[in-house]
Amino acid sequence: MQNLTMKLANNGHTVDLTVTGDPVSITGGGLTNVYIVQQFHFHWGKEDKRGSEHDIDGKYFPMEMHIVHYNSKYKNFTEALNKDDGLAVLGFLFEVGKYNLRFDRIIKHFSEIPYKDEHTDIETFAMRDLLPENLDGYYRYHGSLTTPPCYESVTWSIFYQTIEISEYQLDQFRHTVHENYINETIRDISDDYRPPQCLNHRKIHCSKPVVLNSKTTNRNGRTSASATLVSVTAITSLIFLIKLFRIVF
Ligand SMILES: [Zn+2]
């Protein structure tokens, strides 16, 4: 790809890919502006039954990918970070399935970044290749970053269609990148997800009708001030977003 760089890094909490060069952007889908890709990263669990930061009707997933964009009306990511309309994050949930060759372009480099603060430039690729075929269906809400400083600056879009990945590939995430510096006791990065938070009367919209289990999930015990929850209780207020994402990669 022309004038594009992807830097893969182990920051001790996750692996992230920072994208620089010619802006890669998204627009549409109810977003009021063009948003430029800054980086993407993953959250995963030690076991298949956990790892995602969002649950759908009480169901968790073994991994979740976040593609972080900033609003092009701001100079850069840092300036956008604490603005109400500063960031748009696309979230993709993973399910255990067949081997996903497309993720090998990332996973094969884990051996170069086993320890905290290590990084490597990797060959660039079309990010669209990593995503599910169908991007029409997604949940939308306004929420926060899920890592400190947890600013309430994110327009979240969580897509219905999951990405398949094999157990073997998930194990590469679980066991080949570590949260410690080199020469320290090895500790795997795992369970690097933030649990769902209380909705606090926020509405979650979805782009088209969804049929969910009618059981509701009791979240009353949760008291945090920010919301990163997708639950059936909130889906009762459906708003149909007319425009779909036009993703320009
Ligand atoms: Zn994240």
Q: Which of the residue ranges 67-76, 145-154, 222-231 has the most confident prediction, judged by mean pLDDT?
A: 67-76
In the prediction, which pLDDT does 219 show? 40
Lowest mean pLDDT among 151-155, 198-202, 220-224: 220-224
Instruction: Please state, for a pLDDT cut of 70, what percent of the chain lies above it.
Output: 83
Catalytic residue among 41, 69, 74, 109: 74
* Domains along the sequence of the chain with CATH: 4-248 (3.10.200.10)
Separation of CA 239 and ligand 1 centre (Å): 25
In the prediction, which pLDDT does 209 show? 64
Which comes out higher in pLDDT, residue 220 or 24?
24
User: How far apart, in whole angstroms, are the C-alpha atoms of residue 38 and residue 18?
Assistant: 6
Mean of all residue pLDDT scores within the chain: 82
Backbone dihedral angles phi then psi of residue 237, each to the nearest 5 degrees: -105, 85
Active site residue 201: no
Separation of CA 66 and ligand 1 centre (Å): 5
Separation of CA 63 and ligand 1 centre (Å): 10
pLDDT in tens, 9-64: 999 999 999 999 988 888 888 888 899 999 999 999 999 999 999 988 888 999 99
Dmax (CA) of the chain? 53
In the prediction, which pLDDT does 211 show? 55
Active site residue 13: yes
In the prediction, which pLDDT does 237 show? 29
